[in-house]
Every structure is written in C-alpha cells, then in structure tokens.
C-alpha cells in the first residue's frame, strides 16, 4: 500500500484537486411536501403519487463484499452510497460506515468526509424518517473516463500508483416515502467519479469520491 501523502498527492496532481474536496449532498429535499429548501435548485423529477400499499420491508445496511474486480467493486460502492432506508433505527451513520469500511486505511478519514456529503445530515435524516423515506439507485454506466487515460499518459513514472483506477458512474437515484395516505416517488439523475485501488490479489479499496455531478469525462 502506498502512504497517505503519496496517494493523495498523485491523484490530486493528475486529476485535479477540486475533485477531491468535500462534495455536494445527493438531493436531500424534494421527496415530500413540507421539506426544507435546498441550498441550490433541486433537480428532482416527480415520478408518481398513489395510495400507499402494503409497507415495504425495512432495509438494513449490508457490508460491501470483498472483490478483486475493480468494476464490480465500483458498482458495489455506488449501490451502498446511494441506497439507504431512513426507517432503519440505526441512523445515517451506520449507512455511511458501510462505505468507509472499504476505504484504504490511509484514506479512511478523507473518504468519511466525502461520504458524509453524499448523505443527509442527522437532523434532516430525522425528518426523512417521519415519511419513511428510502433511497436506491439504478446504475446506467460504469466507465473509465477518458481524462484518466490522459492523466496516466502524462504522469511521470511512479507518479500514479499502478493499482489505481477511476470510474465515472451515471445513474438515476430514486426515492420513495409516504405522505399521509399517499406513496410519493421522486427520481434524480446523478453522475460522479470514484477512485479505487485493487492491489495484486488483495480486495479492492476506495480512495476518494469526486464532487457529485462533476464527474471526470
């Protein structure tokens, strides 16, 4: 494993420091009426409203399985990052921990900060729980961005760890919850880039997450 400073410097030098700062939260308003306004215009499309049917079983956080396949790992991290259920009594921190648990040991603190910005704040989580809000994602594509190849080509020997890879994820984040007797659903297209490392035969680890909706092309 490369040391913390080496990973952080090499990736930032090749990709751009702006993509490795804390991020924008993933649509924490717009599911139900009465939610507090967002700091930026919310890009949520209303999907449906219908009488509530039988309650959907409560989903609980599940560990991300070890794998040496970078793309499979990227998909698994994406699902864990965007899938949560506010009805689960453990709170938002338990959903965040699932992703932090697969972070590179030297980057765990930075990854934790990244993940917190993708999830609702504890205060807002409590409001979402009032409506039984749950979220998941339909992943549409997982690709290595062209700019990553450029970064590799332009990097000096040893500047970028040989086991590092970037994946740009595009998908649709979906939410469902209950307002009164109606089930409300919303959807929002999202895109971001994550940086992973899969050294030799060891399980892949997460290095950093880009700013949401500012992926590498």
- Quick: pLDDT tens for 90-136: 999 999 999 999 999 999 999 999 999 999 999 999 999 999 999 99
- Tell me which residue of 172, 178, 179, 198 sits closest to 74, measured CA to CA: 198
Number of neighbours of residue 48 by Cβ within 10 angstroms: 11
What does each of the 217 residues of the chain score in pLDDT, given as a tens digit?
Answer: 444 344 443 443 343 333 332 222 222 234 432 233 333 333 444 455 555 556 789 999 999 999 999 999 999 999 999 999 999 999 999 999 999 999 999 999 999 999 999 999 999 999 999 999 999 999 999 999 999 988 888 888 877 777 999 999 999 999 999 988 888 999 999 999 999 999 888 999 999 999 999 999 8
* pTM attached to this predicted model: 0.76
Decide: 208 and 195 in contact? Cβ < 8 Å.
yes
Whole-number pLDDT of residue 47: 55
Categorise residue 78: left if φ over 0, alpha if ψ from -120 to 50, beta otherwise.
alpha
In the chain the domains, ranked by start, together with CATH numbers, are: 4-15+63-209 (3.10.450)
């Amino acid at each position: 494993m490369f040391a913390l400073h080496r990973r952080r410097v090499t990736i930032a030098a090749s990709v751009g420091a702006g993509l490795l700062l804390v991020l924008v939260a993933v649509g924490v308003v717009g599911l139900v009426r009465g939610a507090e306004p967002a700091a930026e215009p919310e890009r949520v499309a209303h999907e449906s409203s219908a009488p509530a049917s039988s309650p959907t079983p409560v989903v609980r956080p599940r560990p991300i399985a070890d794998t040496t396949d970078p793309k499979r790992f990227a998909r698994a991290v994406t699902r864990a990052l965007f899938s949560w259920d506010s009805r689960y009594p453990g709170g938002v921190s338990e959903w965040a921990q699932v992703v932090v648990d697969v972070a590179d040991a030297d980057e765990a603190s930075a990854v934790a900060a990244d993940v917190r910005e993708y999830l609702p704040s504890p205060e807002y989580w409590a409001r979402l729980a009032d409506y039984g809000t749950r979220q998941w994602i339909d992943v549409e594509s997982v690709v290595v961005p062209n700019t990553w190849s450029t970064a590799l080509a332009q990097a000096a020997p040893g500047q970028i760890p040989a086991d590092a890879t970037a994946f740009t994820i595009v998908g649709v984040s979906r939410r469902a919850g209950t307002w009164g007797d109606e089930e409300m659903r919303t959807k929002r297209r999202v895109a971001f880039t994550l940086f992973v490392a899969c050294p030799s035969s060891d399980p892949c680890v997460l290095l950093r997450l880009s700013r949401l909706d500012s992926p590498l092309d």
